[in-house]
A and B are shown apart, each in its own frame.
Chain A
Amino acid sequence: QLVESGGGLVKTGESLRLSCEASGFAFNKFTMIWVRQAPGKGLEWVSSISSGSTYMYYADSLRGRFTVSRDNAKSVMFLEMHSLRAEDTAIYFCARRLLSDYGVITRGFDPWGQGTLVTVSS
């Protein structure tokens, strides 16, 4: 199970930190991702972090404003968001790479959290 938190209403230029708490699986063995969905729009991949935090990747559109991290001891992933803009307004989902029936960690994503809403307003 994945549960996001930390969303809310912030002003343009402010910062926010989202959390994704995991339970029920070996968190330290899975790459995790953040995906966002602006109101009425499609899904947008935001960031990925490998199981041991060795590799972190970001969408080009974020231009260094977001930082992903994780604490495997606490089974939590974070997304630090800075210099927030109106276009960052979205529901932010976290998700885990899918474990197949054959025990292979695939490049599909499941499960997903329920999402946390970030609203950036001037």
Chain B
Amino acid sequence: QSALTQPASVSGSPGQSITISCTGTSSDVGAHNYVSWYQQHTGKAPKVVIYDVTYRPSGVSNRFSGSRSGNTASLTISGLQAEDEADYYCCSYTTSSTYVFGSGTKVTVL
């Protein structure tokens, strides 16, 4: 159950778009349409921004979108805003009926 691989940090200027990748294997990311993404501000509980690869929960900005190609899932944040500065984690259901999180990505708004 190795953590999914994410870049340690991604940055962008306000208004720009950024993409965070999440690479796993055919036993997790590539096996199901069950990848979710979480935003975590410092000292707070995680908050889901994308579930089941592409779906956005109600109340989450449409600036957040998700996709997947093979064993790599991606989260794109468009129109970057200061409030988007946080840590982001992907999470995948696995073929063993367990879950695995990504290593986490710190998003910085320049």
> What residues of chain A have their CB less than 8 Å away from a CB belonging to chain B?
33, 35, 42-45, 48, 55, 57-61, 93, 95, 98, 100-101, 106-110, 112-115
Size category, B interface: 20 to 34
A59 with B58: CB separation less than 8 A: no
Q: Is the beta-carbon distance between A108 and B48 smaller than 8 angstroms?
A: yes
| Cα distance A45–B55 in the bound complex, in angstroms | 21
B residues in contact with A101, CB < 8 Å: 57-58
A35–B89 CA distance with the chains assembled, in angstroms? 12
For B51, give its contact among A35, A106, A115 (CB under 8 Å).
Answer: A106
Cα distance A95–B51 in the bound complex, in angstroms: 14
Could you say which of B40, B96, B99, B103 has the most chain A C-beta atoms within 10 Å of its C-beta?
Answer: B99
Are B101's CB and A42's CB within 8 A?
yes
Q: What's the least CB distance linking B2 to chain A, in Å?
A: 10
